[in-house]
A and B are shown apart, each in its own frame.
Chain A
Amino acid sequence: MSTRFDRYSSVVFTMIGVFFVAESGSISASAYGSKVGPNLFPLGLGILLILLSLRLFWEASRKKSEQKATPAVDHRRLISFVVLTFLYAVVMEWMGYVLSTSLFLFCAFWLMNKENWWKSAMIACSFSLLVYYIYVDGLKGTLPGWPAWLN
């Protein structure tokens, strides 16, 4: 399983390398007073990245897949956590810090363990309120406040 990931990732890294090489073609090749332009470094690195990915691909296809004893995994829990975190990141500015964080924490606690949801809700709300008021009022920091549609 490990070498399959290596082969896929080497293809992805090759594509990233090709992208940087191709796109550095559109960056100026010289700078004022210098023959060395801002395109040189990404161009060189892109080529290096492609070469290294090819080597990785070669290594991965030569090596036999070894079966490692992997710990039991829970794909659904990982995916739901990633999606949840992503949603949290996207809606935070719109919903405001306190609301989005309480909601995120509550859902995340619930995903981890479905019992004791009353306690989870308490912890979620108190964490977000505490962080918000300490940071915004105490330390004069900036966090998205309460949403406009609530007022």
Chain B
Amino acid sequence: MSVISFLLDGFATALAWHNLLFAFVGVLIGTSVGVLPGIGPMSGVALLIPVSASLTAGLPPEEAAASAIILLAGVYYGAMYGGSTTSILLNTPGESSSVVTTLDGYQMAKQGRAGTALSIAAIGSFVAGIVSLIGLVFLAQPLSELALTFGPAEYFSLMVLGLCAVSGLGGRSMTKALLMTVFGMLLATIGIDNVSGVARFTYEIPVLYQGLEFLTVAVGLFALGEVFKTIHETGRQSGAIAKVGRVIPTRRDLRQSAGPIARGSLLGFFIGLLPGAGATLSSFFSYVLEKKLSKHPERFGKGEIAGVAAPESANNAASGGAMIPLLTLGIPGSGMTAILMGALLMYNVQPGPLLFSDHPKIAWGLIASMFVGNLMLLVLNMPLVKLFAKIIETPSQYLLPIIIAISVFGVYAVQINTFDLVLLVVCGVAGYFLSKHDYPLAPLVLGLVLGPMIENNMRRALTTANGDFTIFLSEPLSLLFLLLAFLWIALPLLVRKRGRQVVVSEEY
């Protein structure tokens, strides 16, 4: 079958009425979550994994996985969009990728053009979603065919490259990021080793045999961690919320932002493909690019519409682009995609080159749902933007305890034991203190998800080579990946030694 007919099948999956409903619910919840202070896209998705599991409980396994992932992807896009809403209306970015949006977005809001900024952000995200959809359609098949030729040695090295890339860019201190990665992989070794069946670090404690559950750790680190942070810091007062005003953009606004949206989408997509770079960096780059290209660079920072359109399209395109390594190679390149991958693994779906042949329904359904989800965002957000602005005012007195209650409910609903609840609280406290002191959490989650896969591939490669470690260097592709990984770590160190400022992504 050709790519197009697969895609049409995907649309058939995504447009089934229950999946439309899931996409709608996902986008709706995602936007609310993104708008709410204190929960970002990552904790939003982590929180909703268990909810999606229970919502899809009645469906056959394959369909349940497709629906759940459609719901979660909807939450992801929705939360990204919700984050921009707060940066425009409140000058407080919901997540790091919309920091740049505050520069011009809040200025526009002050001039009474908040509605225009919001709708341009939605239109930009929609266009970007379509660009990354087209990219996915064309790249998915060739990339997964390439990945099928990989042996365990290549896989091992490619995953090492992914981890190094994320750690190299993931925060202020590379040492801390690497430390978190290694720690995550170590935590993943607890439980029964799935190559030899030997129990490791379990000490005859029954709950440890299945290992530390990824979901519990992710919800604890991200959702509870953020709640504890908000509880601890009392001094923060949010400013006044700007009036939304006219929502429909004028023809002039559209003309001015068409170019920035197109450029932002393309740039964002390609940056998103790279592991570790992600949404933050792409929004930053596209803003700088627009400022360079603009005839009136002095208008940036004073409410220029291009300064909202470009970064918003770029960060959305990047989140679409980040799906490509996840779906085709099975390697998540960011904390967010690591969480989505954990969700897929929970449904016994292994992302990677075989995904497209083993579970075409899920793979193409997800791709099609990206389109549907973005369309829904557009349709939902233009009329409802005023309602979402109201959500910001939810009193935190009720909000924070309810987030804790939902986390506990979610983890218990999936795990059904007290041990995971205690682990959840421990991870919450650890997550708060680690992120407070600039230890990035995304590499930890990435290590936890990738650890077992890296180990399997490493041991398979070593077994075929009779324990000879040079196999990773003698396979040309594997050598290339390892070299790239080394460069990714070494170059920033060299640049820093020379005293130059290194652009650092702070996507947690």
Kindly identify which residue among A6, A20, A32, A140 contacts B196, using a CB–CB cutoff of 8 Å.
Answer: A32
The contact string, 1 if C-beta is below 8 Å from chain A, for chain B 393-418, is: 00011101110110011001100101
How far apart sit A27 and B54, CA to CA, in the bound complex (Å)?
38
B186 to A42, Cβ gap below 8 A? yes
> What is the size category of the interface that chain A forms with chain B?
35 or more
> Given that A9-B437, A109-B397, A142-B413 are contacting pairs, would A49 and B467 also be in contact in the complex, using a CB cutoff of 8 Å?
no
Tell me the number of A-to-B contacts counted with CB atoms below 8 Å.
175
B189 to A72, Cβ gap below 8 A? no
B200 to A104, Cβ gap below 8 A? no
B150 close to A (CB within 8 Å): no
Kindly identify which residue among A31, A85, A97, A131 contacts B195, using a CB–CB cutoff of 8 Å.
Answer: A31
How far apart sit A139 and B145, CA to CA, in the bound complex (Å)?
40
> Given that A34-B463, A88-B408 are contacting pairs, would A143 and B418 also be in contact in the complex, using a CB cutoff of 8 Å?
no
Tell which of B30-38, B310-318, B328-336, B421-429 binds the partner: B421-429
B463 to A135, Cβ gap below 8 A? no
Main SS of chain A's interface residues?
Answer: helix
B405 to A52, Cβ gap below 8 A? no
How far apart sit A101 and B173, CA to CA, in the bound complex (Å)?
40
- Chain B residues contacting A32 (CB-CB under 8 Å) are 196
Tell which of B6-14, B177-185, B500-508 binds the partner: B177-185
> Given that A52-B175, A53-B179 are contacting pairs, would A90 and B437 also be in contact in the complex, using a CB cutoff of 8 Å?
no
B455 close to A (CB within 8 Å): yes
Kindly identify which residue among A38, A46, A89 contacts B193, using a CB–CB cutoff of 8 Å.
Answer: A38
CB-based closest 7 A-B pairs: A72-B235, A108-B401, A89-B421, A35-B467, A31-B196, A34-B463, A112-B397
Chain B residues near A (Cβ < 8 Å):
54-55, 57-58, 173, 175-176, 178-179, 182-183, 185-186, 189, 193, 195-196, 198, 200-201, 224, 228, 231-236, 396-398, 400-402, 404-405, 408-409, 412-413, 416, 418, 421-422, 424-425, 428-429, 433-434, 437-439, 455, 458-459, 462-463, 466-467
Chain A residues near B (Cβ < 8 Å):
2, 5-6, 9, 13, 16-17, 20, 23-24, 27-28, 31-38, 40-42, 45-46, 48-49, 52-53, 55-56, 59, 71-75, 77-78, 81-82, 85-86, 88-90, 92-93, 97, 101, 104-105, 108-109, 112-113, 120, 123, 127-128, 131, 135, 139-143
